[in-house]
Every structure is written in C-alpha cells, then in structure tokens.
Amino acid sequence: MLRSALLNVMIKAAQKAGRTLKRDFGEVEHLQVSLKGPGNFVTAADRRAEEILCAELAAARPGYGFVGEEGGKRHGTDETHTWIVDPLDGTSNFLHGIPHFAISIGLEREGMIVAGLVYNPISDELFTAERGKGAFLNNQRLRVAARKRLGDAVVACGLPHMGRGDLELANREIAAVQPKVAGLRRFGAASLDLAWLAAGRFDAFWERQLSPWDIAGGLILVREAGGYVTDFEQGDTPWIGGDVVAGNETMHRELLRLLKTAARS
C-alpha cells in the first residue's frame, strides 16, 4: 500500500505519541496496586500525548487548526482544515490496566472528515483511511462484515456512566436490542469500536452523546470500508451532534429501527 504524504504525517505523530502512551501504560500497571491509584498519572499521560500530537501535526501542517480533548485548541491560518484529536480514547481502560485504548486523529476539511487514523499502541494495530482511497489495518484493506440478519450480529454499544447521559433511555435501548442479536458488547473506546466495525469484527455500533474527537478518526474508517455511519436522524455529520449509529447498510437500518422504537417507548 502506497501511503500519501498526509497519512504519513498522521502516522508519524500517532506513533510518537503512542510510544509514550505505551511506556506510561506500563507504569499504570504498577500503580494499580497503590492505594492512591494511577488517576493523576493518567491525566498527565493523556496531556503529554496530546502535546506531542499537537506539536507533530503543527510542524508538518503549520496552517491547520487543532482541536484536542485535553484542551488543545489552535486556530490555523488555513481555516478549511482542522485536526480533531483524542490523545487517549478509552481512558477508563487505560486507568484499569486494560490494553484497549487508542489515539484518534480525524482531519476535517470544509465540513467533511477526509482522513482518519485510530492507533492502539499496545496491539500495534494502525487503522487508517482517506476519502476515496479505502480503509486499512496496517497494510490490509478493510471491509465491513456482510451479515444481514440481526440475529447473527454481534453489536457494540456505549453506555452512560456515573453522572452522564440518559440512563433510562440507554436501558430501554438495550432492552430493545439485546434479545434480537447474537451478542452485545461494551468495549470502552469509541474510536476502536468504529475501527473494529470497519474491520468486520462486529456488525453494528451505537452510542449517544459522544464528542467530536471520539468519532472523527473512526467515522471515515467505517465509510471507506463500505459501511454507514450517521446520527439517529440519518444525518451524515454525527461527530457534530455526538450520537452515532453504524453498520453495513442493512445492519445500520435495522439497528436504527430498533433504537427508534426504544426512544418512543
């Protein structure tokens, strides 16, 4: 696979930040047993990763804007391009020593996501996509799963946690979906949920009230792998509103139908 200059910029930044996250994750595993726990250390690791990403991306594309979860915001001279970055998606997993987290980078150009990257530095799985050029896991082309029956599907979701989101609605949605599918999963890193969906590892995904940096990197992976990603009204800019439904054409439609029933009940 021949990578574009743009993807190379994103990959170099992600690999550099990934090296420090991987080192810090090793430390977290030790801190786990201390009474105080690794909370502050993880916050610092998160910020360190964002600083690296911000600096690397700025060095290669000085004019582009930058929005990062840890507060990094830069207005570029080039108003048409913005990096949307989550330096550590899956913080709870990271904090608990669960090796399922990622760096997520999306590039927005004039209201569209045109490139995306999701990188798990522990498994060294690098998911990348550019508009019109396909989605890849390392060098291998990705395709969403072809299953057509919900009854055969493994479906991933996100759940509201302490003090966040609409718990009652989430419970109704789960009650609507769980009995109709082969398996329900909650992995804890939305960017990897989208990347794994693009890789055909499961069949559909939904989550509400995400942030742009949870979605931007993974959204284009799914689309370039032949899948559908929208909000609950079928709008095609879900990273703006934060509600996401994804799958192949059939799974996306069927899941959306179940979720709408749940919302009305």
In this complex, which beta carbon is closest to ligand IPD, that of residue 54 or of residue 88?
A: 88
Q: Is 158 in the site for ligand IPD (CB under 6 A)?
A: yes
Strand-by-strand arrangement of the 244-247 sheet: 183-185, 154-157, 204-207, 244-247, 228-230
Q: Are 133 and 121 in contact (CB under 8 A)?
A: no
> In Å, what is the CA distance from 45 to each residue of 51, 70, 215?
10, 11, 21
According to CB under 5 A, which one of 50, 89, 130, 243 is a site residue for Ca ion? 89
Residue type, 104: S
Residue 198 in contact with ligand IPD, rule: CB under 6 A: no
Among 50, 70, 86, 203, binds ligand IPD (CB under 6 A): 86
Contact window for ligand IPD (CB under 6 A) among 85-93, 111-119, 121-129, 133-141 = 85-93
Min CB(86)–ligand IPD separation in Å: 5
65 binds ligand IPD (CB under 6 A): no
Stretch that binds Ca ion, among 136-144, 149-157, 195-203, 211-219 (CB under 5 A): 211-219
d(CA 78, CA 221): 25
How many degrees, rounded to 5, is the angle at CA 108 between CA 103 and CA 256? 80
Q: Which residues make up the interface to ligand IPD (CB under 6 A)?
A: 69, 86, 88-91, 158, 188-190, 207, 210, 214
